[in-house]
């Protein structure tokens, strides 16, 4: 698949989102199904997904598992890719209390 993406940042997509997004900066582990684990960073989070920075290629035809420090792995699908950033959709959404806890525990470095 070419490096083209659905631009997750255009106004139409932002207005159509069901959940708000919070800026975070979280060191995470990412693992493809039946693949190795590597380090990455979560850059933003919603109850339905997240944006991840990874220098390791993540393929859109495989499930991935995202592990935040202190949490069980979250299964997700890669929805889009732009350079080294990936939009990921969780297969099971985050409970609002868990989402709030993660945002409070891992604030963004940039504001």
CA 42, 23, 9 angle in degrees (round to 5)?
90
CA distances to 29, 60, 99, 101 from 106, in Å:
15, 27, 11, 9
pLDDT digits (tens, 9 = 90+) for 14-62: 434 566 788 999 999 999 987 889 999 999 999 999 999 999 999 886 7
- In 3-state terms, what secondary structure has residue 101? helix
User: Distance (Å, rounded) from C-alpha 53 to C-alpha 68?
Assistant: 14
Predicted structure pTM score: 0.79
pLDDT digits (tens, 9 = 90+) for 51-98: 999 999 998 867 899 999 999 999 999 999 999 999 999 999 999 999
Architecture of domain 22-105: Beta Barrel (2.40)
Domain boundaries, the chain: 22-105
């Amino acid at each position: 698949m070419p490096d083209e993406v659905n631009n997750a940042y255009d106004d139409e997509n932002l207005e159509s989102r069901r959940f708000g997004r919070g800026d975070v900066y979280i060191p995470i582990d990412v693992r493809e199904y039946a693949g190795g684990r590597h380090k990455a960073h979560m850059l933003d989070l919603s109850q339905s997904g997240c944006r991840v920075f990874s220098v390791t290629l993540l393929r859109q035809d495989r499930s991935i598992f995202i592990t935040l420090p202190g949490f069980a792995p979250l299964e997700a699908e890669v929805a889009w890719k732009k350079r080294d950033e990936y939009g990921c959709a969780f297969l099971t959404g985050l409970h609002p209390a868990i989402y709030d806890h993660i945002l409070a525990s891992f604030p963004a470095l940039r504001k």
